[in-house]
Structure 1
Amino acid sequence: MLETTDRDDLMDLPMRRLMIDITHTASHDYNTGIQRVARCLAREAVAYSNRNGIECFPVVHVDGKFVHVDRWCAARGYRRFNLDFQALTNRVLPHWVSTSTRLRLNNIGTRLRKLLYPRTIDRKIRKMIRSWQASLVPANPGPGDVILMPDSWWDLPEMFDAVSQAQQNGALVGAMVHDLIPVHYPEFFTDQVRKNFCRWIERVIHSVDFMIGDAKAIADDLRGYVHEKNGTLEDWQIRHVRLGCDLGDPQDTPEPNVPSDLAAMFANRDKAPYLMVATLEIRKNHHYLLDAFDRLWAEGKDVSLALVGQIGWKCDALIQRIANHPEADKRLHLLNNIDDATLSYIYERSKAFVLTSKSEGFGLPIVEAAHHGLHVFASDIPIFREVAGPQGQFFSLDDPGELCQQIAKFEATQGWRTPPSKQTLNEPWSVVFPKLVETVGEIARDIRQQRPHAAKTAA
């Protein structure tokens, strides 16, 4: 236990330690946006700590307390297994397997997994494995420490007790919130996910010391929500840091072993497909995209479309539409067995990029597409205006005919032959993480200046 004078000295120092919680990500093998962000932050925390005076490191929540991530978890890339079994399963299927067959097999596999290995059994097994591991090292958050929680922990309500205990010990806790989509669009999610998220976010705004959004539009949305729900956070306690994007020079990307049929699909830029990269779920609005391309095909336009993304939730009607579409495997292609190297290959050779989401947290594929020199067509929502910048072409979601007209014009002018003016909108994580540390440090300083007596007595 620290003496009172030691506590007071620590409170006068800059942020002593920054802990990045990755509890959910470290125990799963998902590879959606939030998990990629959490893993990047964990990796950069270690690298930053090695170069600077502030100690930064990832933590996980185990048995009511925050503990250091062990070396085995770090070696696995901060995930449960070394292999992404979903991607591995998809790669087993040859590229010549038809879209309808691929979708049926994916659906059967998902049902079997849920039947034979439900979430309750998964949690019990993981808890048992943890009990066999070597003793975990407690992080002991206290005065001068900040815990940043960027992970998807809304189905882990038990973590609030650890958050409260850390605050009582003098630490500050902040949540990195990526979006409020389940609040604004509950119809996009299962009832359980929606309920869990809404309960979580209402509790978060009354529990944490600050919040970080990953874009200005998200921070603005969070402030509005806090006002609406009478949360305890002031506007200055809600800030944003734009996400990083680690993409090397496309010319430096190693040539992947691309199957001949896929290589043929992207061999000629004039005949290459338009590309959309997004999980198959109703929020991504694939139906709108298909409506627009159905009009183009009906008008005799010789255009094709490639959909890259894993199968998500509440998308049975979409899957049936793709599987039974007359252009399936002709001018409509579903590619859900693509690794990162092949995706980079596809970005390089696609005609243009389209993203039709109704709502989005950030829209990282837009950044990836622009990085590879593609023209971007995106739905006209605030976050896409911010992420794509002035070079993007935006369409209203009220009428698929608007996107149809934009693409028809793009075809008539052969717009893909003129590269867009490149703008560096995103920076690598090695540049972003120090900015995050600076922002969090400023918030911590301001909080302690606002309530110095309360912070010291809490310690």
Structure 2
Amino acid sequence: MTSPATGAARYLDALDRRLASAAEIVLGTEGSPVDGPPGTTAAQLLPLLVAAARLDEAGDDVRWLVLVAVFARYPTSDEFVAFRRSLELDAPESVEADLLATAMRNPARHADGPMVIVRSVVVEVNYSARHDHHTGIQRVVRETVPRWADHHEVTITAWGDDNAALRTLAPRERARVLSFGQDTPLLESETDYVHTVVVPWHTRVLLPDVPVGAASDVLATLARWSGSTVGLVGYDLIPITSADLRPWGEANGTAGLLHVVKHADRVACISRSASAEFRGFVEALPAQGLVGPHVDEVQLPAISSPMPGSGLARPASVRPVVLCTGTREPHKNHRAVVHAAERLWREGVDFELRLVGGFGWSDDPLGDATARLRAEGRPLVELGRVSEQVLWDELRAADAVAFVSLHEGYGLPIAEALSVGTPVLTTAYGSQAEVAADGGCVLVDPRDDDQVTEGLRRLVTDGDLRERLKDEARNRPERTWDDYAADLWDFLTGAEPPKGEH
């Protein structure tokens, strides 16, 4: 067990090294601690860094960096404003004492570890690095970030467990992002991983992953005062604009995202519908004296399948097969598809319905309905969460896909199905209609049970219609993940947008 004295020495040694790194940038000194016991370098450099931060010509970026170096984490907005005011009003030694006291009262979880200041583009992939979940946003991250890493200098990061600073990834986390689904040997032992705080310096911080609500304040502070800019992918604002379809309290996390958006540099939205939502928010910011980010559409690709068929397709069915995809939760509207299927089965229409997708926050009332129908012997198959290979095999084998969500930022399952030539029943508005516009789909009002039933009827009874839609799907304009990754990078890291559009 580490003794208190040893722990204190390790903490002071880490503080020495962080202040030396900051001094190299702020003061132009060598970035190595001076000889002496732990704390010697900090005792020499902290007064010099505080003095530099007090200068009229010092920028807020310098003040932000000094706080990070002392705290071993990013400052909150309250901490930053308090520090700036203290520099104006308090004696230098009082400022130094307050900084150290704050660091000790609210220590970062890894305050005894290393810190690295980077000028390369910083990419945050927290959720995809930590989880094996692989739908929607995670697909975008795992298709996009590896392509960026192949062509650009990037530092790929996640949030620390206290959500107070970005850090380097452990080997297993890197594999989840850069080589997901591959049997990639982990050449570096997980036990060798060292948590290293990543400090962006006059660069861009890109957020393509699920927003981390608990980090929103320190991230907004970074966007406002650190000298680095923040750009993000705008997927949707469903937890706010369709809060009635989402779990109670989820809107709070999205509100945290909007706190970051206020001070971001640009937002790359995945569809025109998503752009409309984010632009609506940005247009309200002048009432707060803010300009807000440049918002534009960088549409997701009409996907070419990343995975060929396994050759182990399920046995051919004598009846048409409809695949209903997506996480089982209310806004995906699976219940409307199951209801339409039951109506058709009662009429004697013969087809099989297969449900693919894991459980979301609630599958009520879907679960009761599917259990009842299966007990009645209806041709309903529930596959649950499946592997990438099984998903693509199912998409290819199906005669049609049903995806009639009530609200989507894009509608990735539609593009996936169409990319392998499978017709889709989908929603006649919003981003789903955008994806369907180039052909291969039957469009319905997802809130109208009669329309959903009639659309499903057409797809399972009209073979000529299915063949025509398959031809349309095969002839859709091709836009690949390579195209998307390149366009997204150019938008998020390119030249400043024209004045008046930011």
TM-score normalised over the length of structure 2: 0.67
Compared with structure 1, are the counterparts of its residues 424 and 47 closer, same or farther at alpha carbon in structure 2 (3 Å cutoff)? Answer: farther
Are 1:214 and 2:260 counterparts?
no
Q: 1:342 aligns with which of 384, 390, 396?
A: 390
Kindly state the Cα deviation for residue 161 of structure 1 after the two structures are TM-superposed: 1.5
Kindly state the Cα deviation for residue 166 of structure 1 after the two structures are TM-superposed: 5.8
Q: 2:321 aligns with which of 261, 273, 278?
A: 273
Partner Cα separation in structure 2 for residue 282 and residue 202 of structure 1: 24
Are 1:201 and 2:252 counterparts?
no
* Amino acid in structure 1 at the alignment position of 2:492: V
The DSSP-based 3-state class of the residue aligned with 1:196 is: helix
Compared with structure 1, are the counterparts of its residues 328 and 60 closer, same or farther at alpha carbon in structure 2 (3 Å cutoff)? Answer: farther
Are 1:56 and 2:145 counterparts?
no
Compared with structure 1, are the counterparts of its residues 160 and 195 closer, same or farther at alpha carbon in structure 2 (3 Å cutoff)? Answer: closer
- 1:167-186 to structure 2, matched below 5 A, reads 167-186=224-243
Partner Cα separation in structure 1 for residue 462 and residue 248 of structure 2: 46
Contact 1:273 1:351 in 2 (8 A): yes
Q: Could you tell me which residue of structure 2 aligns to residue 126 of structure 1? A: none
Are 1:68 and 2:168 counterparts?
yes
Partner Cα separation in structure 2 for residue 249 and residue 78 of structure 1: 14
Partner Cα separation in structure 2 for residue 76 and residue 3 of structure 1: 36
Partner Cα separation in structure 1 for residue 376 and residue 320 of structure 2: 15
Are 1:396 and 2:448 counterparts?
no
Kindly state the Cα deviation for residue 370 of structure 1 after the two structures are TM-superposed: 0.4
Aligned residues: 378
Q: Could you tell me which residue of structure 2 aligns to residue 427 of structure 1? A: 479
Are 1:140 and 2:243 counterparts?
no
Q: 2:145 aligns with which of 16, 20, 42?
A: 42
Q: Deviations over 1:348-399 (max 9, x none)?
A: 1211111110001211110111011111110112101111224122111342
Partner Cα separation in structure 2 for residue 249 and residue 212 of structure 1: 23
* Amino acid in structure 2 at the alignment position of 1:26: A
Kindly state the Cα deviation for residue 133 of structure 1 after the two structures are TM-superposed: 5.3
The structure whose RCO (Cα within 8 Å, separation 6+) is larger is 1
Are 1:416 and 2:475 counterparts?
no
Contact 1:18 1:56 in 2 (8 A): yes
Partner Cα separation in structure 1 for residue 306 and residue 129 of structure 2: 29
Q: Deviations over 1:76-102 (max 9, x none)?
A: 44699999xxxxxxxxxxxxxxxxxxx
Compared with structure 1, are the counterparts of its residues 210 and 236 closer, same or farther at alpha carbon in structure 2 (3 Å cutoff)? Answer: closer
Q: Which moved more, 1:400-409 or 1:354-363?
A: 400-409
Compared with structure 1, are the counterparts of its residues 374 and 18 closer, same or farther at alpha carbon in structure 2 (3 Å cutoff)? Answer: same
- 1:39-438 to structure 2, matched below 5 A, reads 39-49=142-152, 55-62=153-160, 64-77=164-177, 134-143=193-202, 145-157=203-215, 159-165=216-222, 167-197=224-254, 199-228=255-284, 230=287, 237-244=294-301, 247-248=304-305, 252-256=308-312, 263-264=314-315, 267-268=316-317, 271-325=319-373, 330-391=378-439, 392-414=441-463, 415-418=465-468, 419-421=470-472, 422-425=474-477, 427-438=479-490
The DSSP-based 3-state class of the residue aligned with 2:249 is: helix
- 1:2-13 to structure 2, matched below 5 A, reads 2=25
Partner Cα separation in structure 1 for residue 337 and residue 140 of structure 2: 27
* Amino acid in structure 1 at the alignment position of 2:269: G
The DSSP-based 3-state class of the residue aligned with 1:253 is: coil
Identity %: 21
Partner Cα separation in structure 1 for residue 414 and residue 154 of structure 2: 30
Q: Which moved more, 1:232-241 or 1:340-349?
A: 232-241
* Amino acid in structure 1 at the alignment position of 2:157: V
Kindly state the Cα deviation for residue 140 of structure 1 after the two structures are TM-superposed: 2.9
The DSSP-based 3-state class of the residue aligned with 1:165 is: helix
Kindly state the Cα deviation for residue 235 of structure 1 after the two structures are TM-superposed: 7.9
Contact 1:275 1:352 in 2 (8 A): yes
Q: Which moved more, 1:161-170 or 1:285-294?
A: 161-170
* Amino acid in structure 2 at the alignment position of 1:141: P
Compared with structure 1, are the counterparts of its residues 328 and 306 closer, same or farther at alpha carbon in structure 2 (3 Å cutoff)? Answer: farther
**Alignment RMSD:** 3.4
Partner Cα separation in structure 2 for residue 67 and residue 283 of structure 1: 34
Partner Cα separation in structure 2 for residue 328 and residue 69 of structure 1: 50
Q: Deviations over 1:60-119 (max 9, x none)?
A: 233633333344422344699999xxxxxxxxxxxxxxxxxxxxxxxxxxxxxxxxxxxx
Kindly state the Cα deviation for residue 156 of structure 1 after the two structures are TM-superposed: 2.2
Compared with structure 1, are the counterparts of its residues 236 and 25 closer, same or farther at alpha carbon in structure 2 (3 Å cutoff)? Answer: closer
Kindly state the Cα deviation for residue 150 of structure 1 after the two structures are TM-superposed: 1.8
Kindly state the Cα deviation for residue 305 of structure 1 after the two structures are TM-superposed: 1.2
Partner Cα separation in structure 2 for residue 253 and residue 320 of structure 1: 33
Contact 2:125 2:208 in 1 (8 A): yes
Kindly state the Cα deviation for residue 219 of structure 1 after the two structures are TM-superposed: 1.0
Partner Cα separation in structure 1 for residue 121 and residue 247 of structure 2: 34
Partner Cα separation in structure 1 for residue 173 and residue 212 of structure 2: 22
Compared with structure 1, are the counterparts of its residues 426 and 279 closer, same or farther at alpha carbon in structure 2 (3 Å cutoff)? Answer: farther
Kindly state the Cα deviation for residue 137 of structure 1 after the two structures are TM-superposed: 4.4
TM-score normalised over the length of structure 1: 0.73
Partner Cα separation in structure 1 for residue 374 and residue 218 of structure 2: 54
Partner Cα separation in structure 2 for residue 202 and residue 147 of structure 1: 16
Partner Cα separation in structure 2 for residue 196 and residue 169 of structure 1: 23
Q: Could you tell me which residue of structure 1 aligns to residue 121 of structure 2? A: 18
Compared with structure 1, are the counterparts of its residues 245 and 58 closer, same or farther at alpha carbon in structure 2 (3 Å cutoff)? Answer: farther
Unaligned runs of 5+ in 2: 1-23, 29-118, 184-188
